[in-house]
Chains A and B, each alone.
Chain A
């Protein structure tokens, strides 16, 4: 869920953009040149994943997979999501230039938090526990992100309170789907390619 241009108040835009810039700076500093192909390809995969529509009840929902992204790339979620949103704005014509920072923050901060909470646990847990942790990571990231979007709207003026509530409501089914999809993906990674989950320590060069 991202916000369009012209909705948020200048104060929210300023604070959000500044915080996002800080996050991107940290993410870039931690990103070594050797990490760029890995993170670049992963962010391409996440972009493709965000185009996948999954049926839920009578409607369909598109995936975001912020929890999975956080666990896989950590702080690089900030630059990776900025790139994704920029691509969407410029190349696919979704707009969202002035809200680039706020949207990046709303998505990347939950991802980074998930990487800090679930990353270390995942590295130590077996296949079964990883599935549970994966589910939690998916749920936590999306709920947090939905909450932040709602906060950004609510802080921009009383007029958006209703829209903020609608945003929270819209995120409830998404939480469940994201949880199940993330759990499956992490369970698979745990078995097929455990090194992928030890973020920051790429597999030793052959």
Chain B
């Protein structure tokens, strides 16, 4: 990434394109999936045992298989997470006191430290995979509905949907402005000129988005927007949804109970 200012992130804005695939998880109710993802995440994080955390990761992998996630998308997400947590995890073996496992120069890596590092890596990956399988496969509108049913404030849902909706557009605008800079022979370097130019670019982006938001608000007012979030569908929970939720809760409770023993 030294070649200059580049953008990272999936090219397909809005999602990883996971909801297009039909799967047993995809047919379950969004509300149950959101609740279950939260419960699983919390119960996995409370675990203190290497074996149970590994079991948690295995369960999350099972969910990924059931959800028929594309391997590429899963690997991309894992890579993003794991390259990110390297900083915290790689230092642990050297900072946890205990019995030395091996030496790196003059500092010793301890068994206890390695165990803590492995524990964190297992748990973080388990949470990521189960969230991806259960919630990442939701269409954004369905997620909005689910959050509304779960008593998340309307304003927060609106804000979420707005941000998702305009993310792609703002990114397009950014790309256009970058292209205009490139056309004037701008090259990103490590100097004040570059940083200031990026600041002007983002400032311009802000100015344009503010103007656009006023037009959007005017258009919304014109159609009677009053701050309420209107649900379009009210799907009832099916029997299978209840079974799915109960099964997931049992597994989560089992993990926590086994950890407490």
Which residues on A are within 8 Å of B, measured CB to CB? 3-7, 10, 13, 24, 28, 31-34, 36-45, 47-49, 51-60, 62-63, 65, 68, 72, 79-80, 82-84, 86-87, 89-98, 153, 158-163, 166-167, 170, 177, 180-189, 192-193, 196, 203
Contacts and interface: CB of A to CB of B under 8 A. Distances in A.
Contacts of B65: none
A57 B2 CA distance: 9
Contacts of B167: 44, 47-48, 87
A182 B155 CA distance: 28
B38 A97 contact: yes
24 contacts: A3-B88, A4-B120, A28-B156, A36-B227, A37-B216, A38-B210, A40-B158, A41-B212, A51-B9, A52-B198, A58-B2, A63-B202, A83-B163, A90-B135, A90-B138, A91-B16, A91-B164, A93-B77, A94-B128, A170-B87, A181-B198, A183-B199, A185-B199, A188-B203
A91 B210 contact: no
A166 B216 CA distance: 44
Nearest to B191: A55
A135 to B, nearest CB: 10
Interface of B: 1-2, 4-10, 14-16, 37-38, 41-42, 44-46, 73-74, 76-77, 80-81, 84-85, 87-88, 91-92, 94-97, 113, 116, 119-120, 122-125, 127-128, 131-132, 135-136, 138, 140, 143, 153, 155-156, 158-167, 169-171, 174, 188-190, 192, 194-200, 202-207, 209-210, 212-214, 216-217, 220-221, 225-227
A36 B162 contact: yes
A184 B131 contact: no
Dominant SS among interface residues on chain B: helix
Nearest to A186: B203
Main secondary structure of the interface of A (DSSP, over half): helix
A167 B125 CA distance: 21
Nearest to B78: A93
B42 A98 contact: yes
Contacts of B214: 37-38, 203
Contacts of B192: 180
B198 to A, nearest CB: 6
A5 B45 contact: yes
B87 A166 contact: yes
Contacts of B198: 52, 54, 63, 181, 184
A16 to B, nearest CB: 13
B95 A5 contact: no
A45 B205 contact: yes
Contact of A53 (B1, B136, B163): B1
